[in-house]
Amino acid sequence: MDENVRGHSSHEKIIVSGAPGYMTVDLAALARNYVRLSGEVAPARAAAVVKADAYGLGAEKIAPELYKHGCRHFFVAQFAEATVLRPLLPADAAVFVLNGLQPGSETICARDGIVPVINSLEQWQRWAAEAEALEQKLPAVLQFDSGMSRLGLPPEDRPVTADLLKTENSIDVLFVMSHLASADDPENIQNAAQKAEMERISAEFAQFPACFANSGGIFLGKTFHGVLTRPGIALYGGAPTGGTENPMEPVVSLDVAVVQVRTVPSGTRVGYSGTHVTTAETRLATIAAGYADGLPRSLSGRGAVYCDGVRLPIVGRVSMDSITVDISALPQNRLTLGSRVEVLGPNQTLEDLARDADTISYEILTGLRHRYQRQYL
Ligand SMILES: *Cc1c(COP(=O)(O)O)cnc(C)c1O
């Protein structure tokens, strides 16, 4: 066997060198972020939002780690994600499906103890029918739309929902929940409006505890928490609030390998469509990741990577599998075939990269899951 490839499990190998990129997920930092958020919301609890494979970091590793640190509520977006996660967690952990109860998923949800978030009266009826067929009470979260117009029961369905609850006892409602649309911006007036609407919902359904804040909502204050909060991005080190210092610890770092180095004269075109033309003799390095690896094409001519704290600007277009950077600011021969440059780390945060790519940290994180060698600390 190649000495650079270690057997890990029957179907998984860890490449310790020779990979195009190395993504490190610091599980200790993740745990500290969870403890930090739990402290912030106490006596309310912090769930963990682990949808989209825990924002691309690997839900199979992230969720059990958070369980060890006291997390008992896990939210995924889709039924299929719940079926993967459910067997990896002990029975006293709850797995909730944010996107709701999809037709066809009822029997497996009931059998495996997956808790749907009920987003409509139709979903309520389907879940109630399943409960009646099984002659057993089934758990659910009731989501109400408090102003985002995305998911959840609309205001006009609240009276009939309240009536249903008086007669129907086949569904065990664990929480009423809603989701904030603008929680990352404390100045946004939508926050107060949604909070007021959530307070009305909580009054109308006073028998059930409330589940409200996402990461940003946690830092809007206690009145946004309910008894259960649902942080996602903050767990993974993303900034919960825009434009202020990030209170969370970084969890992800990413280094990418250099695959070629060259020196070109002034007046040389670089990359697809020749969008960049050098204005002096320039040393260039091509690195082994591109838009297929989650480094958006919008970084073309804008973003940078780092080496020894030196900024290396991206020149020309981001390709599918590679990016060319200007390394003239580094000492000669500092970077050679196989050297690594920092894409995410001490010199460049998720927010830095997202800003340069004209997107948000969430999109960067969830895009990084493909071809890098992933290591958990
Ligand atoms: C994604 C999501 C969250 C987590 O949001 P963050 O901003 O990442 O903390 C919470 N609740 C719902 C309903 C979501 O869709």
User: In this predicted model, what pLDDT tens digit does every residue of 95-151 receive, in sequence order?
Assistant: 999 999 999 999 999 999 999 999 999 999 999 999 999 999 999 999 999 999 999
Ligand 1 atom at minimal distance to the Cα of residue 230? 10
Q: In the predicted model, is pLDDT for residue 13 greater than 90? A: no
pLDDT tens figures, 356-373: 999 999 999 999 977 899
**pLDDT at residue 10, rounded to an integer:** 36
Distance 184 CA to ligand 1 centre (A): 11
**pLDDT at residue 168, rounded to an integer:** 82
Which of 98, 153, 176, 366 most suits a substitution to test ligand 1, by most atoms within 8 Å of the C-beta?
A: 98
Q: In the predicted model, is pLDDT for residue 258 greater than 80? A: yes
Residues of the chain with CATH 3.20.20.10: 27-236
**pLDDT at residue 352, rounded to an integer:** 97
Ligand 1 atom at minimal distance to the Cα of residue 362? 8
**pLDDT at residue 1, rounded to an integer:** 34
CB 29 within 8 A of CB 54: no
**pLDDT at residue 129, rounded to an integer:** 96
**Tokens linked to 288:** 């082994």
pLDDT cut 70: percent of the chain above it: 96
Residue of higher predicted confidence among 207 and 13: 207
**Tokens linked to 34:** 């969870």
**Catalytic annotation, pick one of 22, 34, 51, 55:** 51
Which of 17-26, 89-98, 259-268, 279-288 is the least confident region? 17-26
Is 272 an active-site residue? yes
Max Cα distance, the chain (Å): 80
pTM of the model: 0.94
Q: Is 237 in the pocket of ligand 1 (CB under 6 A)?
A: no
Ligand 1 atom at minimal distance to the Cα of residue 98? 13
Cα 22 from Cα 25, distance rounded (Å) = 10
What amino acid is encoded at 336 in this protein? T
pLDDT tens figures, 169-206: 899 999 999 999 999 999 999 999 999 999 999 999 99
Is 320 marked within a binding site?
yes
Residue of higher predicted confidence among 234 and 6: 234
Q: In whole numbers, what is the pLDDT of the chain averaged over residues?
A: 94
Ligand 1 atom at minimal distance to the Cα of residue 215? 9
Q: Is 98 in the pocket of ligand 1 (CB under 6 A)?
A: yes
Please name the CATH architecture into which domain 3-23+250-376 falls.
Beta Barrel (2.40)
Element (H, E) at 221: none
Cα 99 from Cα 203, distance rounded (Å) = 24
**pLDDT at residue 197, rounded to an integer:** 98
Average pLDDT for 325-340: 96
Residue nearest to atom 12 of ligand 1 (CA): 179
Is 51 an active-site residue? yes
**pLDDT at residue 345, rounded to an integer:** 98
Average pLDDT for 12-25: 77
Residues of the chain with CATH 2.40.37.10: 3-23+250-376
Residue nearest to atom 13 of ligand 1 (CA): 179
pLDDT band for 14, please (50, 70, 90 cuts).
Answer: low
Which of 119-128, 161-170, 298-307 is the least confident region? 161-170
Cα 3 from Cα 41, distance rounded (Å) = 48
Phi, psi (degrees; rounded to nearest 5) at 188: -70, 125
**pLDDT at residue 16, rounded to an integer:** 65
**Catalytic annotation, pick one of 68, 137, 222, 272:** 272
Which of 53, 75, 153 most suits a substitution to test ligand 1, by most atoms within 8 Å of the C-beta?
A: 75
Q: For the domain with range 27-236, which CATH number is right: 3.30.465.10, 1.10.10.1100, 3.20.20.10, 3.40.720.10?
A: 3.20.20.10
